[in-house]
Amino acid sequence: MMRYDLLVKGGTLVLPYHGEVRADLAVRGGRIVAIGEDLDGGAEVIDAAGKIVLPGAVDAHFHLGIYRDLGVDAFEETRSCLVGGATTVLSYFRTGQHYLDRTGPYETIFPEVLEAVAGRAWTGYGFHLAPMTSAQIDEIPDLVAGHGVTSFKYYMFYKGFDLAANSRDARAFTMSDEYDLGHLYLIMEKLAATQAAHPGRRLSLSLHCEQSELMRVFIDRVRAGGAPQNLRAYAQARPPLTEQLAIAEAAVLAGHTGVEINLLHLSSAEALEAAARTPARRETTLHHLCLDHDDLDARGGLGGKVNPPIRTREHNEALWAGVADGRIDWVASDHACCLEEHKGDDLWPARPGFGGTALLYPVLFSEGHVRRGLPLTRIAEVAAANPARAFNLWGRKGALAVGFDADLTVLDPALTRTVTADLLLSGQDHCPFEGVRVTGWPVTTVVGGRVAFHEGKTVGEPSGSYLHR
Q: What is the pLDDT of residues 284-300, one digit of tens each?
A: 999 999 999 999 999 99
Determine the residue type at 214: L
Among candidate residues 246, 253, 255, 311, the one with its CA nearest the CA of residue 284 = 311
- Alpha-carbon distance of 454 to 452, in angstroms, equals 7
pTM of the model: 0.97
Q: pLDDT tens, 144-170? A: 999 999 999 999 998 765 555 555 556
Find the helix packing angle between 240-257 and 269-276, rounded to 10°. Answer: 20
pLDDT for res 176: 78
pLDDT for res 173: 75
Percentage of the chain lying above the pLDDT 70 cut: 97
Give the pairing type, strands 330-332 and 281-285: parallel
Q: How many residues in the chain?
A: 469
pLDDT for res 29: 98
Domain ranges in the chain are 56-398+427-436
- Alpha-carbon distance of 266 to 264, in angstroms, equals 6
Among candidate residues 16, 107, 139, 23, the one with its CA nearest the CA of residue 393 = 16
Print the SS3 string covering 357-414. Answer: HHHHHHHHHHHHHHCCCCCHHHHHHHHHHHHHHHCCCECCECCCCCCCECCEEEEEEE
Q: Residue 341: pLDDT above 70?
A: yes
Q: pLDDT tens, 129-142? A: 999 999 999 999 99
Work out the end-to-end distance of the chain between its first and last CA atoms, rounded to an integer number of angstroms: 36
pLDDT for res 163: 57
User: Which residues, other chains included, contact 252 with Cβ-Cβ below 8 Å and sequence gap of 6+?
Assistant: none
Q: Which CATH class is domain 56-398+427-436?
A: alpha beta
Give the pairing type, strands 86-93 and 57-63: parallel
In this structure, are residues 388 and 399 in contact, taking their beta carbons and an 8 Å threshold? yes
Q: Which residues pair with 27 in a beta bridge?
A: 6, 32
Q: Residue 269: pLDDT above 80?
A: yes
pLDDT for res 306: 98
CA distances from 315 to 12, 280, 297, 322 (A): 33, 20, 17, 11
The pLDDT of 392-398, averaged and rounded, is 98
pLDDT for res 169: 58
Provide the mean pLDDT of the chain: 96
pLDDT for res 177: 76
Q: pLDDT tens, 44-100? A: 999 999 999 999 999 999 999 999 999 999 999 999 999 999 999 999 999 999 998
Q: pLDDT tens, 24-43? A: 999 999 999 999 999 999 99
Q: Residue 282: pLDDT above 80?
A: yes
Least confident residue range of 96-100, 217-221, 288-292, 329-333: 96-100
The continuous run of DSSP H or E covering 62 comes out as strand 57-63
The pLDDT of 96-106, averaged and rounded, is 92
Q: Which residues pair with 28 in a beta bridge?
A: 31
pLDDT for res 178: 83
